Structure 1
């Protein structure tokens, strides 16, 4: 059975709701007969997204910058006035302009503001009222495998998503230790998903990528199963491979290897052997 938060006329607030995983999730929530609030930057894209959604009991769209607390507070006030507290809060908005540890300029500030502060702002704006209303409710924060294995290539994005992981872990710990609280948090960890964030110049989905709809379906199944870490595979990387990569990343600390040793030429053979051991252990 679906989680009780996904009930008819219950409310879901989704940031980054005009496209990608956010929009796909909104469509799945609408199929339960839920009411929706979609939050994104562009009013025109929000209206277009709302027009695609069928079955929702009601839809509110709010153009806002999740990286600015005063704008999230404005969203909260509009939601509470029209609907009351949400039953599902999906902090999903994310951006990925290029950055390095040494260079990046404004990209660093913007990525951290949207990807990390957007999650913090959304949580702190909405969750107190979600706890107070006393019904089973969910906070779903969209992280990334890059926040766990931290591959080279986009330092600011990795830092922001590592922050989302730690924040969501701490949030769930606090929620489960709050007397009478019926709100639970989950960390959505997508694989390679073909969205506007990842498409680049491509117009057709690569064979390796999942669709946003597949990711939303996997998310719902993970929540139904009670998973906190909703670790999504894709068409190229299965869960055992993800597990080995993540285990190796933690091993850099435990075994005192160089950071990001998976990409270090002196450890290339050792990592490949470690990965193959995992493949051999598959049933």
Structure 2
């Protein structure tokens, strides 16, 4: 079905498309000749991105600075896209932030992360999915998660909570869509590896050797989307899929074996974890 969607007859809406992963995904769609709706609250970023999308080959480009934390703004955007193009075929809920957080740090940091990284995905899906289903056309909804939402490493709990929520929400969405009569929409969870973007640059101007570029990640994403994978688990130059699988297996093993929470970072389990990874 995905090949029936990833073509110049389709319309793709991508949030967080002003830079980084979102822009790379939007550019990938543009190269396929699709109409692209680039959404980013930073109007200057998305306007600058639009020129590149047009030059890349998009059939048509529309921009929006809609705030994904505002359901009314997304409902208005959905209606505008429907009026202009007839509807949406591909929705990528990608926009996110990572300002950092601590367990008992400022509440507003938690609220900002959850409103953007979790509620932004929910708001986007609720705004666009009903008409996508009702049209009866093949379509795709992609939500950007994170490995941190699966292995939940210490250090940024608000981000982990939000991305764990995106994983659970997208799994529930996939089940709902495949059991909705007449709907031809599939859901997918994008799980990037280490991708060098402004979100994680932290003052660096050159890409670390271990990171992928956004373009490398977008190419992998489109390949696996064509293969109809639900969990699009991306490697990078340092971490292979096999390593990711072992880390995730260890994380679920904490529950199965009733180890201490986050035992991967517990000093009493350091040697066991190292042996597990080598094995």
Structure-2-length-normalised TM-score: 0.97
The number of equivalent residue pairs is 277
1:11 and 2:15 correspond = no
- The CA deviation at 1:70 is 1.4
| Residue of structure 1 equivalent to 2:268 | 266
- The CA deviation at 1:115 is 0.5
More moved, 60-69 vs 89-98: 60-69
1:121 and 2:153 correspond = no
Please say if residues 37 and 62 of structure 2, whose CA atoms lie closer than 8 Å, have aligned partners that are also in contact: yes
For 2:106 and 2:82, the matched residues in 1 are separated by: 38
| Residue of structure 2 equivalent to 1:41 | 41
Please say if residues 12 and 29 of structure 2, whose CA atoms lie closer than 8 Å, have aligned partners that are also in contact: yes
1:223 and 2:236 correspond = no
- The CA deviation at 1:2 is 6.0
1:88 and 2:99 correspond = no
Structure 1 runs (4+) greater than 4 angstroms displaced: none
SS in 2 for 1:61: strand
SS in 2 for 1:179: coil
More moved, 192-201 vs 71-80: 71-80
Please say if residues 18 and 39 of structure 2, whose CA atoms lie closer than 8 Å, have aligned partners that are also in contact: yes
Please say if residues 2 and 139 of structure 2, whose CA atoms lie closer than 8 Å, have aligned partners that are also in contact: no
- Please, which runs of 5 or more residues in structure 1 have no aligned partner? 278-283
Please say if residues 149 and 161 of structure 2, whose CA atoms lie closer than 8 Å, have aligned partners that are also in contact: yes
1:214 and 2:216 correspond = yes
| Residue of structure 1 equivalent to 2:242 | 240
| Residue of structure 1 equivalent to 2:52 | 52
Please say if residues 93 and 143 of structure 2, whose CA atoms lie closer than 8 Å, have aligned partners that are also in contact: yes
- The CA deviation at 1:30 is 0.7
Structure-1-length-normalised TM-score: 0.96
For 1:129 and 1:35, the matched residues in 2 are separated by: 18
